[in-house]
Amino acid sequence: MEWLWESYRISSQLYAEIKPGQVIDEVYYQKYMPVIRQRIDRAGIRLAGELNRLFNNEPVPAVKFAAPIQSAVPGESVKLENLKNYIGKTVSVQGKVYSVKDIGSMVLANMGAAYPNQLLTLAFKGDTKALAGTLEGKTVSISGQVIDYKGKPEIIVTSAEQVKVQ
């Protein structure tokens, strides 16, 4: 389910940039070639793990992946209130973390206000989940790509380098 969710989030973001009737040109294709290569790499690693598990009857080991493309790249510094205007862009934003909730596959942190009035949700995945639990009540700077999740801005945090505690 986590792999499915990961693919869904990425494809939703890519499709959101295409207008009905728009022709996908070489510029668009080249822009997302690194994402395509990353997805193929992950699929290969995961398939190998599943095959090893099937043929050796052993659990699939956890695989640590590098941060997604653009995730730790500092972007344009924007105000928390304006994030909905930066969907699909890599930004840096600062704000207070009001609440944190562990939902198993990820830890969600709400900036700007507590849920459901948050201005930004941070989705901490992988090794960064433990970091999320230390942020409640603190002011932090986050760098990452803004995506839309059910009409609200969200940044997926997969590297501690994306987070700076003030």
Question: Is the domain defined by 76-165 classed in CATH 3.40.50.300?
Answer: no
pLDDT at position 28, please? 78
Among 129, 134, 136, 128, smallest CA distance to 159 is for 128
Domain with CATH 2.40.50.140 in the chain: 76-165
Reported as a single tens digit per residue, the pLDDT across 27-61 is 877 788 888 888 888 888 888 888 887 887 666 56
Q: Is the pTM of this model over 0.75?
A: no
Among 116, 126, 109, smallest CA distance to 150 is for 116
Reported as a single tens digit per residue, the pLDDT across 131-156 is 998 999 999 999 888 998 888 999 99
Among 13, 18, 50, smallest CA distance to 35 is for 13
Reported as a single tens digit per residue, the pLDDT across 83-127 is 888 888 889 999 999 999 999 888 999 999 998 899 999 999 988
pLDDT at position 69, please? 43
d(CA 35, CA 41): 10
* Distance (Å) of CA 122 to CA 39, 102, 127, 143: 22, 12, 14, 11
79: buried, middle or exposed (CB in 10 Å: 19+, 13-18, 0-12)?
middle
